[in-house]
Amino acid sequence: MIRIYQAADLPEAHLIAGLLRQAGIDARVFNENAQGGLGDIPFGAAYPEVWLIDPADAGRANRLIKDFDGAPTEPGSVFCRACSEENPANFELCWKCGAKL
Ligand SMILES: [Zn+2]
């Protein structure tokens, strides 16, 4: 058994484990009951973890998780050339000064 991932919360842990299982990697979620017991557990030990049954899968699992983590979640931003204000990438005009981005 080898720990492959420490998730921020339980749904994320299950998401990662499901991702790995889909790829044929046997993965388990540990610390499932950690949430809610935060006061009793030292900080850092309370996060759900994803473990692999077979350490030989670690390389492939790491790549899958990296691809998953690296997926763009937001389009980014552009900076107005007129006033330097930050705008969402899908804006055509600066929300602050109205200049074309
Ligand atoms: Zn502007």
The CATH number for 6's domain is 3.30.70
18 and 62 belong to one structural domain: yes
Chunk the chain into consecutive blocks of 10 residues (it has 101) and report each block's average pLDDT, rounded to whole numbers: 92 94 95 61 70 96 86 71 89 92 88
- Quick one: pLDDT at residue 77? 83
Residue 16 CA to ligand 1 center (angstroms) comes to 40
- Quick one: pLDDT at residue 97? 96
| Residues around ligand 1, an ion, CB closer than 5 A | 80, 82-83, 85, 94, 96-97, 99
Residue 91 CA to ligand 1 center (angstroms) comes to 11
Q: Give tens-digit pLDDT for 63-84.
A: 999 888 775 555 678 889 999 9
57 and 94 belong to one structural domain: no
29 and 13 belong to one structural domain: yes
Instruction: Map residue 9 onto helix, strand or coil.
Output: coil
- Quick one: pLDDT at residue 40? 56
Residue 11 CA to ligand 1 center (angstroms) comes to 39
Count of the separate structural domains present in the chain: 2
Q: What is the DSSP string of 17-82?
A: HHHHHHTT--EEEE-TT-TT-TTTS-TTSSS-EEEES-GGGHHHHHHHHHHHHHS--S--EEE-TT
- Quick one: pLDDT at residue 57? 96
- Quick one: pLDDT at residue 17? 96
- Quick one: pLDDT at residue 78? 86
Q: Is this model's pTM higher than 0.75 or not?
A: no
